[in-house]
Amino acid sequence: MTTTNVHLPVEEIVPTAIDLRREFEEAGVAAILGELDRDLVGLAPVKRRIRETAALLLVERARARLGLAHRAPTLHMSFTGNPGTGKTTVAERMASLLHRLGYVRKGHLVSVTRDDLVGQYIGHTAPKTKEVIKKALGGVLFIDEAYYLYRPENERDYGQEAIEILLQVMENQRDDLVVILAGYADRMEKFFESNPGFRSRIAHHIDFPDYGDDELLEIAVRMLAGAGYRFSPAAVEAFRAYVAARRTQPHFSNARSIRNALDRARLRQANRLFEEAAGPVGADELSTIEPDDILKSRVLTQGGRIGG
């Protein structure tokens, strides 16, 4: 007689308790937050909010596994702050965090501006916006300078059509797409006042502060190290003076302005080495930024704070 083994479905065992600290580590949340600490200088209030958000998501996931009443939290966000304060980098880490915790399928970030969403003629905006949304599904859609979507002074502007599509998707597909709106704080506030539908769909508002002088200097040192360069001790003080002067000038963009300043310093270093070298130059000379490479910046020579 032949015996047939029948495999009955095994009921999923519902745990009676969950070790949140263990979940925190195993889900990779600790690793992502560690990356934020390593990759971004300062931003303590932002990092605290990200950690708090991660804790909320972890607790909601634990409640679901324990069979408790739960609801998926609203995850759409607003990042406000000046340029160069790390908003895009934090959005990338947030996408990874949401993926690790099971709140989005893919965990990728699609970063766009108005031009990627709004068309220039009738019938052009809807396909553009829907195509961007299609690419972002399963992840995070990051809309930088989101207030440019709304231009009430232009009767023929098609931004409102993109807004209406986004609002519908944010409501109906919030389990498969997280939208982060970003931009200057004052302009974002006016944008929300003009478009209350966005405000009602966004639960997390995170403000990114400007960096202080010491933080900008640390960012510069890290950027140089990443490119295989370093400041000489005297160049550190020269760059500190540069930062103090540059922050008082228009169009200062935090870390972006620091990156641009370092690019120009490397340009001046290359020209200095080419013009002044009497013989072969070694690795140390090729890798060191000296005071003159900074002090000849127009920020200092034309600002009257330090002679070139």
User: What is residue 17's predicted lDDT score, i.e. its pLDDT?
Assistant: 83
- Contact between residue 66 and residue 14 where contact means Cβ atoms under 8 Å apart: yes
Q: Name which of 43, 39, 41 is nearest 31 in CA terms.
A: 39
Q: Sketch out the chain's domains with CATH numbers.
A: 20-208 (3.40.50.300), 213-301 (1.10.8.60)
Return per-residue pLDDT of the chain as tens, 308 residues.
444 454 444 455 667 788 888 888 888 888 999 988 888 999 999 999 999 999 988 888 888 888 887 677 889 999 999 999 999 999 999 999 999 988 999 999 999 999 999 988 888 999 999 999 999 999 999 999 999 998 877 767 889 999 999 999 999 998 899 999 999 999 999 999 999 999 999 989 999 999 999 999 999 999 999 999 999 999 999 999 999 999 999 899 999 999 999 999 999 999 999 988 778 889 999 999 999 999 999 999 875 444 33
What is d(CA 30, CA 33) in angstroms, rounded to the nearest whole number? Answer: 5
Helix (H) or strand (E) holding 96: helix 87-100
The DSSP string of 212-265 is PHHHHHHHHHHHHHHTT-EE-HHHHHHHHHHHHHHTTSTT--THHHHHHHHHHH
Task: Write a three-state SS string for 100-163.
Answer: HCCCCCCCCEEEECHHHHCCCCCCCHHHHHHHHHHHHCCCEEEEECHHHHCCCCCCCCCHHHHH
| Nearest alpha-carbon partner for 20 in 61, 51, 48 | 61
In the chain, what is the straight-line distance between the N-terminal and C-terminal CA atoms, in Å? 99
What tokens were used for 2?
Answer: 């032949």
Q: What is the DSSP letter of 66?
A: T
Number of Cβ within a 10 Å radius of residue 84:
21
Q: Are the C-beta atoms of residues 181 and 148 closer than 8 Å to each other?
A: no
Question: How far is 19 from 23, CA to CA, in rounded Å?
Answer: 6
